[in-house]
Structure formats: structure tokens, C-alpha cells
Chains A and B, each alone.
Chain A
């Protein structure tokens, strides 16, 4: 066993194994976990019925009165879990797509992946007439939309802009498709679907989190083995290939994982905009240069969705709750503008 330094990294060597660890990345992850814990507490306390932080901790440690216990365990905790898992999935997916396409704007909501999932869920739910909600078709719709986009675009183009512009047009088309489907249904049948379509975590139990959790569970080991390639993919394509990466295969595999994950999250919570774009950008500010913050993006995504949902629950103006997707869109619009302006300033 041997410990040396390489740049800012610690290098652990044992026999012919060697692993690099950067202390800052671990500290940032710890910091995010603490923030997440605090955000969870805020989310438990706040809502249409307020409770004190003391009561919340009392319930969490096994005490508390029956009413608070019911509120925390049956309503708020499942919803918080759904928010955390969907947010993690979105952050992860955004980071993977941005890294592969090499453009900050290449995220599931911009290139039509979320809208593919939404359109599929709306169409199947509306056609089945049973009033059930076909979340499982989400990832299939997302993959179909992305395959269609890949066929239309042919190649990502310079800095991925070809793919992004065609993806935006495709997203618009799919969105109008789901709007049309919804408008042709009777109002009382599609009320729930309408709320879902704006991105909502309202009334979700633990069971909705399971499929997304399973999707993330499949991604984790695959992404750990792909992590070296993800890092190398920051170099230009020709260099990556001459370093021994089968780039085409790797890109398809990573995009497939990212699109499935985004589709699953979208199927469960409805389209939550801008988290997939913002989380990797925040994560890259927090981490070291020359790294791809896949896991940190997931943690930041979880934090963003949880905070947005807490705001959505707390500031209901009318009788009906505001969807979490509407809150993220409100914050996300100016954020996207900032990303675009910052990028064009960097180009100069």
C-alpha cells in the first residue's frame, strides 16, 4: 500500500492497482449530502399544513402524535423520495447528454426527449380510456423520440448545434401532439393527466419511485465502468479515438442510458424542465477542472427538484397546487438566458 500525489489528487497504490481520489470531490459530495438533509427537513416541515421542525424530528425518530406521523410518513416522505430520485435521474441524464454532445444546451428537455416521453404517456393514457396513467411508456417514448432525432439530424453538427436545433423543432411538434390529444378528451377524464403534464409530484407514494430507482440502479455500475471514457471524451473526437476509445459505440451507449433515465423520471413526475440543464452546470462550478461531474450532477438535481417541489407545495395561491414543473420553468427561463449569454461572452 502506497500513497502519493498526482496534481491535486491522492493516488493509492496496492500491488499493481492504483486509484486516484480528489479530496475536493469528496468534500463537495459531503457538502451536498448535508444540504440535501437540510432540504428534506424543510420539505417535511413546510406544506399546506405546517408543523414545527421539532415535531418533524420527533416523528422521524419514532415519536410524535398520530396526525403528524400520518402526515410525515404517508404523504410527505414518499413525495420527498420521489422528488429526490427524479431529480437525481434528471441531473445524471443532463450531465451525460451534455458531455456526449459537447454542448450545455443539449439536455433532455431541449432536444425533445422529455416531450417524447410526455407525448407517449398522454397518448397511451388517453387511448386506454381507463383513466390509468401509463408511466411505463415514458422511457419508450423518450427512446423513440431520440432515435427519430438521430435519424433526422444524421450527425450532431458543429458543437452539437445541428442536433439541438432539430431537437427543439421535434420537441415543439411532440408538445403540440400531446396538447392536441389532451384537448380532444373529456375534461373530467384528463384532469389528472393535465396536472401531471405540467410536472407534478402531488400525491405520489413510494411505489412511483421504484422504476426510476431501478433505472438508476442499472446505470450506476455501467457508468462506473464508463467513467474513464467519459473523462477522455472531453478531448477532441480524433484524439479520443486514437487513445483507444470506440467512440461511436460509447456515445450510443451513454446516450441510451441518459435517455432511458430521463424518460423514466419524466414518466413518473411529468416533464420537469431545466433541472437537467442546470444541475451539471452547478456541479461543474463545485468540482475540479478536467472532470465530468456525473454523480455530483445527480445530487444537485435531487436538491433542485426537492426545493422546487417544496416551493410548489408552500406557495399555493389558489385551491390547486402549482406543479413543480411550473416552478422550475419560472426559475429556469432566466437561467437558460444566463447560460446563453455567458457562452456567447466566452466566445468573444
Chain B
């Protein structure tokens, strides 16, 4: 699937900024042109600051990957963008409108979120699950319109789950299940998709299938923000990578510029070589083999901040 080149046209045009006094109005213009922007976003859980002053933007039809170590605030950020967390400070703007002023009903037609561990009702079939994506368009006397039926059939075909339509979700494999969930989110037909680690639990084949499906949506000008761990996959499929550490953005740019061994060291405390993929030159990360470790245990303990959060994920995976 080719991606049109003009997707970067949404970047601010410098010719518009004529005098420095107009900076404020221009930033509002930029805000309006971007699908999603945040301004100095802070989020706290009690006294614990999780997101500390995030400024980011997602253009129309842009696919942005957010990477970073476990516990860096990626998922919390994503929740705040979907209005599931209230910012302690700062604001989120959707096409220039403050998220705080949009009600949930309107928001459901603008932002769709796929959480990390979604829960489905017992015994639900794939088609019924995907049908839930039409909820924002339905009402008591408009329970299943022709349009609903058409769109559900369409997204199931795109996600390649139409052959499982009548099967129970619980009877499918992890990869097929994830595609069904993605189809549900697509049925919501929103201009912005927020995806929390949609590929983390999948095998390589399903991972590529799911990422391709996600990438295809940008052709219809859908903006996508995706949280993921696989940097190489992020570099291949995303237009832009945002790297987060300790609640802050430490890098934001095109994959080739962002993915460096310095970044890997800073994010994960891992020394790595960055190679170029033979086919298309996207960065490939290879961790350097560690030299002899006579003092492995003393090395681990001071870094308890970075080593601890990785443990639960290994158990889940």
C-alpha cells in the first residue's frame, strides 16, 4: 500500500509567520490544522507525576509511534488523549478544539481507542463485537441500520476476519482476536485512532498483518497514534517516532533521525548497533553482546527503576 506524499503538507508553513508578534495566533492555526495537539500536558496519579509536560502533534493521515520503556507514561498519555484521564495541567486539542469541552457522545465519532487488554462479553461473536463499533451512531430506534451492516461487513473484510464473523471471539487465536478488535475500532469510523500496544502479544506474521492494516488506514486520511515496543517495526511503519522516558518526550522525528544507538542507550540502558535493512534502509536494532559479566548482580541493583517494570510484562507475554 503506497502512502501519498502530501501527508506531510500539514506541517506548519513558515511563510505564514511574518512577524514574531503573531506567534500566538499562528500556533492556534497550527493547532487547527493538526488532527491532535497537546500543550504542556501533565498527568498525576495522586502525588505521583506520570506525564510531565508533553507537547506533541499528530497531522492528518499521519502514523505516529510512541515508544519508550515500561512505566514511562505512554499508556497514561494515550488515555489522556482519549479523555479517559483528566490532565492535571495543560490541554489536549482535537482539530483546534479543547478536548475538555467535547462531550463523550461527540468524541466517540472522532476518537477511537483500542486499549491494551480489552475485555469482551462472554460468548460474543466476532460480528457482534465489530458491531459495538457502531454504537456511537446508533440509538434506541436505530439499532442496526443498513449503513451499520455495510460498514461492519466492510471493516471485517479489510481486517480479514469476515470468515470468522459467526464464530465466538473466545474460539479465535490471539492474532485473529486482535484483528477483530481492530475491526471494531475501525467500524467507529473516526478520523483519529489511538492504539495501545496492538501488536505486543502477536507472532511475527500477525504483527505484520496488523501493522499493514493499520498503515492502510492513513490512505483515507485517518490519523493514528500507536504505542508500541518494537522499535524496528515502529521505524518501518510509522511516519514519525516519539520516544518517551520518565514522562517526557526525549526525541520526536522521522524514524531514521530518531532511532540511534544513543537513544537506545538512553531509553533502555542497552548498547546496540543500528543497521540498515537491506530492502528499504529502515533501521534495525541489534543489541550488542555483553562482555563477560563478573559483577552482574551488583550491576543490576542500582538500575532497579528500569529493570523492575520489565518483569511483569514478561509474565504477561
Q: Which residues of A contact B120 (CB under 8 A)?
A: 234-235
Cα-based distance from A327 to B109 in the complex (angstroms): 51
Name which of A4, A6, A18 has the most chain B CB atoms within 10 A of its CB: A18
- Most A CB contacts (10 A, CB to CB) among B121, B133, B188 go to B121
Contacts of B119 on A, CB cut-off 8 Å?
Answer: 235-236, 239
Give the residues from 121 to 164 in chain B that come closer than 8 angstroms, CB to CB, to chain A. 121-125, 127-128, 131-133, 135-136, 138-146, 149
Chain B residues closer than 8 Å to A17, beta-carbon distance:
141-142
Q: Which residues of B sit under 8 angstroms from A18, Cβ to Cβ?
A: 141-145
- For the complex, give the distance between the alpha carbons of A150 and B201 in Å: 37
Q: Chain A contact residues (Cβ within 8 angstroms of B): what range?
A: 20 to 34
CA of A6 to CA of B136 in the docked complex: distance in angstroms? Answer: 18
Task: Tell me the interface secondary structure of chain B in the complex.
Answer: loop
> With A7-B166, A232-B135, A244-B107 known to touch, is A239 a contact of B118 (CB < 8 Å)?
yes
**Which residues of B from 73 to 110 have beta carbons under 8 Å from A?**
79, 82-84, 103-109
CA distance A46 to B203 in the complex (A): 65
A19 within 8 A of B: yes
Q: Given known contacts A13-B145, A19-B141, is B128 in contact with A290 (CB within 8 Å)? A: yes
Give the distance in Å from the alpha carbon of A239 to the alpha carbon of B113 in the complex. Answer: 7
**Bound complex: CA of A33 vs CA of B197, how far in Å?**
49
In the complex, are the beta carbons of B125 and A7 less than 8 A apart? Answer: yes
**Residue A162 is within 8 A (CB to CB) of chain B in the complex:** no
Residues on B with C-beta less than 8 A from A7 are 125, 127-128, 166
Contact of B84 among A228, A238, A289 (CB under 8 A): A238
Q: Are B144 and A244 in contact (CB under 8 A)?
A: no
Check A341 for interface membership: any CB of B closer than 8 A. Answer: no
Report chain B residues within 8 Å CB of A227: 140
Minimum Cβ distance to chain A for residue B197 (Å): 14
Give the contacts of A275-317 with B (CB-CB under 8 A).
289-290
Q: Is A147 an interface residue (CB 8 A)?
A: no
B84 touches A20 (CB 8 A): no
As a 0/1 sequence over residues 232 to 262 of chain A, the CB contacts with chain B under 8 angstroms (1 = contact) are: 1011101101111110000000000000000
Contact B140 A225, beta carbon cutoff 8 Å: yes
In the complex, whether B12 has a CB less than 8 A from a CB of chain A is no
Contacts of B125 in A (CB 8 A): 7, 290
Interface string of A47-88 (1 = CB under 8 A from B): 000000000000000000000000000000000000000000
- Say yes or no: A289-B121 contact (C-beta < 8 A), given A239-B115, A245-B104: yes
Q: Does A29 contact B (CB under 8 A)?
A: no
**Least CB distance, B95 to chain A, in whole angstroms:** 17
A244, B119: Cα distance in complex, Å: 17
Known A7-B128, A236-B115: A19·B121 in contact at CB below 8 Å: no
Indicate if the CB atoms of A246 and B141 lie closer than 8 Å. no
Do A228 and B144 touch (CB < 8 A)? no
Q: Is A16 engaged at the interface, CB distance under 8 Å to the other chain?
A: yes
CB proximity of A285 to chain B, nearest CB, Å? 12
How long is the Cα–Cα vector from A4 to B143 in the complex, in angstroms?
A: 13
Residues of chain A lying within 8 A (CB to CB) of residue B188: 243
A228 touches B115 (CB 8 A): no
Q: Which of A9, A20, A235, A243 contacts B121 (CB 8 A)?
A: A235
With A13-B145, A242-B113, A290-B128 known as contacts, the answer to whether A224 contacts B121 (CB < 8 A) is: no
Task: Report yes or no: B121 in contact with A290, Cβ–Cβ below 8 A.
Answer: yes
A238 to B166, CA, bound (A): 25
Question: In whole angstroms, how far apart are the Cα atoms of A243 and B137 in the complex?
Answer: 10
Give B135's nearest chain A residue, CB to CB: A243
Asked if residues B124 and A6 are in contact (CB atoms below 8 Å), the reply is: no
**Cross-chain pairs A/B with CB under 8 angstroms, 19 sampled:** A11-B144, A13-B144, A16-B142, A18-B144, A228-B138, A228-B139, A228-B140, A228-B143, A238-B82, A238-B115, A239-B113, A239-B115, A242-B84, A242-B107, A243-B132, A243-B135, A243-B136, A243-B188, A246-B103
A residues apposed to B, CB below 8 Å: 4, 6-7, 9, 11, 13, 16-20, 224-225, 227-228, 232, 234-236, 238-239, 241-246, 289-290
Could you list 13 further interchain pairs (A-B, Cβ under 8 angstroms) beyond the known A7-B166, A19-B143, A235-B132? A9-B144, A17-B141, A228-B140, A228-B143, A232-B132, A232-B135, A235-B118, A238-B79, A243-B133, A244-B106, A244-B136, A290-B123, A290-B125
